[in-house]
């Protein structure tokens, strides 16, 4: 499995090796050792989610309070999506920046989004099915969102699709409004939390 760190620190893309024969294809879409090699800790699986979306559906930008927030390992099992990781950590060198990747049922890549980062995606095909492995259960009282159409974020949603948002995501604040309201995680708190997850003697170093 090939691992690539995204321009936003603490987010990685995992590209599996596919084994094909006349029957079809086999692959390992998640490996805990591959993830641990870059994060320095295991993913504590607390919840597994799935969503199926029509083309143009836009979900996010979602995040949760740190600690414990919620780390996510995301893959697209059917169809195609544009997935965006947004650095919303106050004090981060890349605060307000994003990294965008395509997840689909061809390359079958996985995306790991660390605690405190924002996550959003747009379905590029009808019936886009997404599977998420989550480090903590969904807890509404500590869940937040930022409007994915915030012009200051300038996320690269395809112009040929009309965005379909939930009422909650439409009403979400902009990044600057969320910062002014004091509801964004801090980079220092996130770094301290990441370190707390690593066992003593771990060889992985987070950038």
Residue of 73, 112, 132, 187 marked active site: 132
Chain position carrying tokens 């930008």? 61
132 is known as an active-site residue? yes
Positive or negative torsion for Cα 87, 92, 95, 97: negative
Cα 61 vs. chain centroid, distance in angstroms?
9
Closest CA to 185 of 99, 89, 73: 89
Cα(68)–Cα(194) distance, integer angstroms: 10
187 is known as an active-site residue? no
Residue of 62, 63, 73, 187 marked active site: 62
Cα(92)–Cα(94) distance, integer angstroms: 5
Cα(62)–Cα(145) distance, integer angstroms: 4
Cα(136)–Cα(72) distance, integer angstroms: 9
- List residues bridging with 89 in a β-sheet: none
Cα(95)–Cα(2) distance, integer angstroms: 27
Beta pairing class for 98-104 and 110-113: unpaired
* Residues forming the active site: 62, 132
């Amino acid at each position: 499995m090939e691992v690539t760190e995204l321009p936003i620190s603490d987010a990685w893309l995992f590209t599996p090796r596919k084994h094909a024969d006349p029957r079809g294809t086999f692959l390992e879409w998640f490996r805990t050792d591959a993830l641990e090699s870059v994060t320095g800790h295991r993913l504590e699986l607390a919840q597994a989610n799935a969503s199926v979306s029509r083309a143009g559906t836009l979900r996010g930008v979602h995040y949760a309070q740190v600690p414990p927030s919620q780390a996510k390992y995301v893959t697209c099992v059917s169809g195609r999506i544009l997935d965006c990781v947004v650095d919303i950590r106050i004090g981060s060198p890349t605060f307000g920046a994003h990294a965008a990747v395509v997840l689909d049922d061809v390359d079958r890549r996985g995306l790991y989004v660390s605690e405190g980062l924002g996550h959003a995606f747009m379905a590029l095909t009808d019936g886009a099915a997404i599977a998420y492995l989550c480090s903590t259960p969904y807890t509404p009282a500590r869940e937040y969102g930022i409007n994915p159409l915030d012009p200051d974020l300038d996320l690269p949603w395809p112009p040929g699709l009309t965005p379909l948002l939930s009422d909650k995501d439409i009403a979400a604040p902009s990044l600057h409004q969320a910062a002014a309201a004091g509801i964004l995680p801090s980079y220092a708190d996130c770094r301290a939390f990441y370190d707390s997850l690593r066992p003593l003697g771990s060889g992985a170093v987070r950038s």
